[in-house]
Copies of this chain bind each other. A is one copy, B any other.
């Protein structure tokens, strides 16, 4: 049914040349007569020829595809990353295979096998919150498989990594709250086991310290790994709000938390920032929709994806084993819609 694509052989026959000559002309090999080359290229263009990537892959033992392991794509932060990855990959002639883990360790393992079975040339991985044992990745890596970590990195894996400065991001957000007079600042912690969470918590602590605000464990909400639901947040927040010295501000350490917290304030009819001030990580334009006084730490998601893909491809295409690995750190942006002055208040 589908019309057969034109091949090198067809061109060879039409031009009375050998397939090797056609191949050389098209690949711009040095040992080719310029006239022949022009003849071939003109004809190829005329008949709209392009090489069969599958045959090339078989021959070259590479698929020109990369795998992406990510928790979910229906999330602004991650879909922006994917867009960045796709963009850089297409630029280099690579296609991508996306595999979603939904934060599940089991699915991450399956997904890793799946990608290997698809013969991807390398893998970009952002681990699931559930994952404690990275041997499925490390084993692959030890077999010489190019792997680059992004966002949620595997610290014990010595490879290229792309992250944002999470410490600084949280520090900026919390500093903003503190600068506006808030001193009872809670920190809602996304899956604790992740380095990004730890870094964000450190940023929070640093900002508190610089403002002479004591760190209080009871202003911390922690969540176990796995997919976070709104109900989980609601329950813990309700409890915290009932404390005698309940917080006057909250820092949300992840995209999903920030959105869910906005929802929480809506449903509980909590005025922002009068009853509680908010700042948090978010790549959704939630502050525009929800409340202009919500301050947001925005991550350079597209750039992060782009950088990760570029590093992976350079790794794939490098002739000799890489000895020096790079950890690229991108910077978050603090987005403040309303002037801080308007929000300032005394305790």
Given known pairs A74-B76, A100-B83, the reply for A119 and B285 (CB within 8 Å) is: no
- How many whole Å from A269's CB to the nearest CB in chain B? 10
Determine the distance from Cα of A160 to Cα of B230 in the docked complex, in whole angstroms. Answer: 38
Counting every copy of the chain, the complex holds: 2
Contacts of A327 in B (CB 8 A): none
A95-126: which residues lie under 8 A (CB-CB) from chain B?
A: 95-98, 100, 114, 117-119
Q: Could you say which of B54, B80, B144 contacts A3, with CB atoms under 8 Å apart?
A: B144
Beyond contacts A1-B321, A259-B289, A266-B290: 17 other A-B pairs, Cβ-Cβ < 8 A, are A52-B119, A53-B118, A54-B54, A54-B57, A54-B58, A72-B83, A73-B79, A73-B82, A74-B79, A74-B83, A76-B76, A82-B98, A83-B100, A86-B100, A98-B98, A267-B288, A289-B289
Whether B285 pairs with A263 at a CB distance below 8 angstroms is yes
CB distance from A10 to the nearest CB of B (A): 15
Is the CB of A299 closer than 8 A to any CB of chain B?
no
Question: How many Å lie between the Cα of A73 and that of B50 in the bound state?
Answer: 28
Measured between alpha carbons, how far is A94 from B63 in the docked complex, in Å? 15
Contacts of A286 in B (CB 8 A): 289
Q: Is the CB of A117 within 8 A of B288?
A: no
Q: How far is the CA of A56 from the CA of B147 in the complex (A)?
A: 26
Q: How far is the CA of A72 from the CA of B82 in the complex (A)?
A: 11
Q: Is A243 an interface residue (CB 8 A)?
A: no
| A90–chain B nearest beta-carbon distance, Å | 7
A117 & B53 in contact (Cβ 8 Å cutoff): yes
A242 within 8 A of B: no
A86 neighbours in B (Cβ, 8 Å): 98, 100
For the complex, count residues of A whose C-beta is within 8 A of B.
51
Q: Which residue of B lies closest to A79 (CB)?
A: B74
Give Cα A232–Cα B54 distance, bound, in whole angstroms. Answer: 45
**Residue numbers in B under 8 Å from A2 (CB-CB):** 143-146
Q: Could you jot down 7 A-B contacts, CB within 8 Å?
A: A2-B145, A54-B58, A72-B83, A98-B98, A262-B289, A284-B284, A290-B290
Tell me which of A54, A100, A118, A144 has the highest count of chain B C-beta atoms within 10 A of its own C-beta: A54
A195 contacts partner chain B, Cβ-Cβ < 8 Å:
no
Cβ–Cβ < 8 Å partners of A32 in chain B: none
Chain B residues closer than 8 Å to A65, beta-carbon distance: 95
Most chain B beta-carbon neighbours within 10 Å: one of A3, A79, A259: A79
Q: Tell me if A181 is interfacial: C-beta within 8 Å of chain B.
A: no
CA distance A97 to B292 in the complex (A): 38
B-contacting residues, A58-88, CB 8 Å: 58, 63, 65, 72-76, 79-80, 82-83, 86
- Would you call A291 an interface residue if the criterion is a C-beta within 8 Å of the partner chain's C-beta atoms? yes
